[in-house]
Structure 1
Amino acid sequence: MSTFTAEERAAMKEHAKELKTAARRASQADKAAQAEREVLAKIAEMAPADRVLAERVHALVTAHAPVLEPKLWYGMPSYALDGKVVCFFQSAEKFKARYATLGFSDQAKLDDGEMWPAGFALTAVTPAVEKRIAELVTRAVS
């Protein structure tokens, strides 16, 4: 019996494919441009509700943390610094979840005492949510 769900196995296969694709790219500029196109294409494939959220997250991350490079990570839009994922968007549909998630890896500089959130449920992007996302991604790379 496998310890991984079908969705998790599919995500791992997507990640392996992403690594192979990335290894074949020629120049760093080509890699960055191609990676962003892949992220935008993945966002375009999402269900409408997830797509709206992912588009806003993408716009906010690229505007407020331009040092982060968009890339696919386990089939999800993510944003990396020096090749290491700092934050990512997980659609609700992908894992049949109740809500989308904006997540942060241990690379994000969000430390706050002995315990802090590393993932945020996302159901709408209001002006207040946009402000919070901007603050989080700015702090994550500071």
Structure 2
Amino acid sequence: MTTTKKSTAAKSKSYDGFTDEERGAMKERARELKAASGKAEAEAAVLEKIAEIADEGDRAMAERIHAIVKEHAPELSPKTWYGMPAYAKNGKIVCFFQPADKFKARYSTLGFNDPANLDDGDMWATSFALTKLTPAVEKQLTALIKKAAS
């Protein structure tokens, strides 16, 4: 009888270590994996995600980053990744834009994954906080994106 109580109590306890935003991102990723699409559909999905960004400044940054990737790293294919605009090479995500409100962060982020060719010695940055895109920041991002795609 004690065993039954313990097992009932154990069943009623649940560990929920993910935020609503994280659970939402995981659900979006599962949908993305199920929906294998062509290049035109993938770009349309990225543009749709960019259009959904609530913050005007973040949306403008995402639009500009998309334009930079298309112009300076056309070998990267747009696709969504955990519900964020991302860019892949040979099917692997090289970089992505994470708006601040995605995970209730203080700033937006341009992140790079392992396939990005950014290796520089024993340590290098893989994500960059963005608050606005000035001409100087755009120049830095363009260089990073070109290097990452090489």
- For Structure 1 versus Structure 2, the TM-score category normalised by the shorter chain is over 0.9
Aligned counterpart in structure 1 of residue 39 of structure 2, from 16, 32, 37: 32
Q: Specify the SS of the correspondent of 1:70.
A: strand
Identity of aligned residues (%): 62
Runs (4+) off by over 4 Å: none
**In the alignment, structure 1 residue 98 sits paired with structure 2 residue 106:** yes
Q: How far 1:49 moved relative to its partner? A: 1.7
Q: How far apart in 2 are the matches of 1:141 and 1:99?
A: 24
Q: Specify the SS of the correspondent of 2:132.
A: coil
**Runs of 5+ in structure 1 lacking a partner?**
26-30
TM-score scaled by length of structure 1: 0.92
Q: How far apart in 1 are the matches of 2:44 and 2:100?
A: 22
**In the alignment, structure 1 residue 135 sits paired with structure 2 residue 149:** no
Q: Give aligned pairs, total.
A: 135
Which residue matches 1:2?
A: 16
Q: How far apart in 2 are the matches of 1:50 and 1:134?
A: 17
Which residue matches 1:72?
A: 80
Which residue matches 1:124?
A: 132
Q: How far apart in 1 are the matches of 2:57 and 2:146?
A: 25
One-letter amino acid matched to 2:40? A
Which residue matches 2:49?
A: 42
Provide the alpha-carbon RMSD of the alignment: 0.8
Larger Rg: 2
Q: How far 1:3 moved relative to its partner? A: 2.1
